[in-house]
Structure 1
């Protein structure tokens, strides 16, 4: 039990402390633990997500701990584990291989005729499987200890192992995906565990995920559209254009949120790709797309999910850019703060 008697929540954030400047310095101290995953092997446009974790940690010191909605929720303990540099090194190495591979296939060349490319795609897919198992083992260990868990990426491929671990604890649950993209492609660019395939892989492999509710989607291919149409009982997509048109014609964000919440089952996992926000808030995310949400819209949505009596069982926050540490990391840190608090409040009993 951490002694908080000498901790002043109104004081400047102490860099000697942990996430948000809080004095929780171990897994044992905290009720909620963040697993950082510095991985971005298959990003298909801009890079930098694997190196966003430290800037987010630094930016988190600027957050005031008081919020009328949260009270002293932080006293339950928020802690982020140390970044595993071996994972980052492996990501860097395989990322170079992936860049060469994509450049090769973009010219229409056949992979089977090039032994080096055959080895590269095998190495990359094996690396993705390794990462999935690494995340699974770490998150399962935390869940088995009774911890609430969040994952901080890295690209959007990173939470697969976490969702798999949650599926061993919950018979059924839904995923709320906040994103500019559907991420329903099949092995995009030949990569089985592509960031663009995360939700396809989850739905195909993890039967306990009985509902996927996507919001903010505004960039997708025909294959993904067809997959959504073929799985309408399991997937419900609130496309960004449709949301905007409804609001232009007089509907409120509250009415849209009510519909989103109603589509969710009792247990909800939040998968938050930062590019679901307006790119003015996350200009260095890997694949920015005009449109999207204001940060306060997402905070309001999560608040309403919890108010509905639904239980949040975990979350990921991914694709935060690192090329402008102040702009992107600040928004990432504040969205992480909201997610930590609402996950804790949702499980206070």
Structure 2
């Protein structure tokens, strides 16, 4: 067993070690990160399937000292190896989905084309396969007493983890940081679209009692109607409304206190990186003007913890990959904060913020 108590956090990160340069094995780690290299249904920019690998590399440059959770890393963080077969399956189905999306965008009838009908079926079967795969992987980790974080990939990937969480918690809420509602019904015909993740969660997981969305600034009329018709289960804080309230004199603290009050005791954090200002994530799959600074979101996480609520899991999705390492650099730091938040929320008081 690795003794992290004697590990020097100020030394140069060893690239032969695991995430954040830690010499941790899965057995030793309190928190296990499951990378999911999947982006089959992305409808704009691609590249998120290779984000886990890029973030792993960038994470070697993350300083292990977090003044709010200074020794969280001592519990051990470990990221599993990337499943290359899963990545290959994603690459293949992504090409299939691109052909299908192009076909339907021109108003063509899918039912009249056997090839497109087969493509449509294969993409949906791929989404079903992934959801079950993620469920099985995370279920075993939770049963083994691990804390779990999911690293995408596009935002369709955590549905299986939501279902595993639901097996453990009879009631929980999702705090969603996102530029989008993700409440579309089988967007583009794909049942497991990244744009349908929260609709799928709400309709398939009764244990999910509350969805609180923060930073939304791009949504359709169908999603607006869904929000109005399900206001008992969904609270959406639109980016525009947050800014208007601040322009009128409200503080971010006042707004955050209200956001936190809507959450149940058990809170899962679903972080789509496009919830941030685009300057921080320029190559995310579907960028939208507006958004948060990282510290604004981290302050929200802090207030969730200070309220006495328990963070039970997280995912980080939609980090783009580019010729520079900026996106992965920001993604690695967001990942580290999420890890520290999850650890602090499930550890002794000396580690809490």
Q: 1:5 to 1:242 in 2, by over 3 A?
A: closer
Structure 2 partner of 1:16: 16
In structure 2, what is the equivalent of residue 249 of structure 1? 248
Aligned partners of 1:176 and 1:212 also within 8 Å: yes
Structure 1 position 3, deviation (Å): 2.0
Cα distance between partner residues in 1 of 2:66 and 2:44: 37
> Secondary structure, in 3 states, of the residue corresponding to 1:211?
strand
In 1, distance between residues paired with 2:4 and 2:335? 22
TM-score calculated relative to the size of structure 2: 0.97
Q: Distance in 2 between the 1:294 and 1:341 partners?
A: 18
CA positional deviation for 1:64: 1.0
Q: Does 1:169 align with 2:186?
A: no
Q: CA deviation at 1:251?
A: 1.1
Give distance in 2, aligned partners of 1:77 and 1:191. Answer: 38
Q: Structure 1 residue 5: deviation in Å? A: 5.7
Gaps of 5+ in 1: none
* Alpha-carbon contact 1:284-1:324 (below 8 Å) kept: no
Alpha-carbon deviations, 1:49-100, whole Å to 9, x = none? Answer: 0011111011111111112211211100000000000000000000000000
**Alignment RMSD:** 0.8
Whole-angstrom distance in 2 between the partners of 1:47 and 1:297: 27
Structure 1 stretches of 4+ with a deviation exceeding 6 A read none
Judge conservation of contact 1:173–1:267 (CA < 8 Å) in 2: yes
The aligned counterpart of 2:61 is 62
Q: Secondary structure at the match of 2:279?
A: coil
In structure 2, the partner of 1:113 is: 112
2:226 match:
227
Deviation of 1:292 after TM superposition, in Å, equals 0.4
Please give the residue correspondences for 1:31-50 in structure 2 after superposition, counting only pairs within 5 Å.
31-50=30-49
SS of residue matched to 2:15: coil
CA contact (8 A) 1:271 1:315 kept: yes
Please give the alpha-carbon distance, in whole angstroms, between the structure 1 residues aligned to 2:196 and 2:15: 37
| Pair 1:30-2:29 in alignment | yes
Unpaired stretches in structure 2, ≥5 consecutive residues: 349-353
Q: Contact (CA 8 Å) 2:270, 2:316: kept in 1 or not?
A: yes
What is the number of residues matched between the two proteins?
348
- C-alpha deviation, 1:188, in angstroms: 0.3
Corresponding residue of 2:135: 136
Q: Indicate conservation of the 8 Å contact 2:180/2:217, yes or no.
A: yes
For 1:224 and 1:7, how far apart are their aligned partners in 2?
49
Q: TM-score, normalised by structure 1?
A: 0.98
Q: State how far apart, in whole Å, the 1-side matches of 2:156 and 2:322 are.
A: 20
Mapped partners of 1:117, 1:332: distance in 2: 36
Measured in 1, the distance between the counterparts of 2:279 and 2:80 equals 29
What SS does structure 2 have at the residue aligned with 1:290?
coil
- How far 1:325 moved relative to its partner? 4.2
Shift of 1:6: 5.0
